[in-house]
Amino acid sequence: MKKVIMTLVICGLFFGSTAFAGLTKDLLMNVEKVEKEMSLMQTFFFPDATFNEEGKYVRVEVETCEQSMHTSYPMLPYTFKVMTFPFGTKIESIEVKTGEVMSKQLSKKIHPAPNPVPLNMENAKVEIKEGRIYESNEPYPSDWIIYNIGAGIKNGEHVVFLSIHAFPCRYIPAKNELLYT
């Protein structure tokens, strides 16, 4: 594995240096860096949430949304979007603007996500435990969106990926309060 990595680094330096072969100092001074600034807007619309009681917990569900499944954390609805950009794109900032944020006091805690079950289902016991997050006075998740920027290959081209997880609601576990937009 180290050989492969070293080979890639050497090739990268080689190809990068050949781009300037034969250029004189005068020519290098006239090279301009072309930058383009661009702004995109992505809007997420969420239908109203439904609340389904299950024993001592309640499930919050939003049509068209998935459920977060982080073990021992509250199961909350979310949607996601993956955007692709040309390789070399720098994403400098992401701003989030929500509609009116409302609050709802819940009579029961939001259902925690269970432990993962083995694929073979052999001796599978589904355990549901509340994690330490249930003692928190801070909203979970910490923001309305969670995003990740990475690079990869799509259709044979190097690209930059922006993966966005958008949450229509956030939960303050210690207060048993749901914030939603």
Run means of pLDDT, 10 residues per run, the chain, 181 residues: 27 35 46 68 90 94 95 96 93 88 96 86 79 96 95 96 96 96 89
Give this prediction's pTM: 0.74
Is domain 46-180 classified as CATH 2.60.40.3800?
Answer: yes
**pLDDT in the model for residue 162:** 95
Contact between 163 and 82 (Cβ < 8 Å): yes
Residue that has been written with the tokens 């993962």 in this structure: 116
Q: 132-169 burial string, b = 16+ CB within 10 Å, else e?
A: ebbeeeebbbeebbebeeeeeeeeeeebbebebbbbbb
Residues 6+ apart with CB under 8 A from 152: 158, 159, 161
